[in-house]
Amino acid sequence: MAAEAYLERVDAFLKERGSSLPPRVHRLLGALARAWGGRWGFVGRSTEWGEGEEGVYLHLGVQDRGHLRYLASLRVHLHGGEARAFIQAPNPERHLWVDDGGLAERLDALLPLWRALEVVSGEGDLSALVRLEDMADVEDASFVVDDLLDLLES
């Protein structure tokens, strides 16, 4: 299961760098990863984890026109040695997609709606950010999967 592998890699990543997440944030991270894996997995949709120099990611992906496109991600990053956990949605790299049948534009339409939500604590140029430390529980982030599933069904 991608969620369990992701959580194991997050723990190893943080240990290797001598950092950690607050226990409440770590529990939310685990609960979100499992919830996303349980709701998102279906033919043509996947959760996949990846790692970079500064963090570990759990992506919500969809097969679209022969390409795997990441729509949103759950991320653990180091900022100045301090671990941060957050959701980034929609994927800021969508502007690079070609032959996507309008998927990037439909994601663009979700962005102002997501930015208006109280739980959204930050904004990138092309995405909304939800810091897990600002969330009360997993339901605070249910809008990501709910809205993406609605978008794919439309």
DSSP string, 94-125: GGG--S-TTHHHHHHHHHHHHHTSTT--EE-S
Where in the chain are the domains? 2-153
Q: What local confidence, expressed as pLDDT, does residue 13 receive?
A: 95
> What is the block-wise mean pLDDT of the chain (154 residues), using blocks of 10 residues?
88 95 94 89 87 92 90 92 91 86 90 84 80 88 89 85
Q: Which residues contact 143 (CB under 8 A, 6 or more apart)?
A: 114, 117, 119
Global pTM reads 0.88
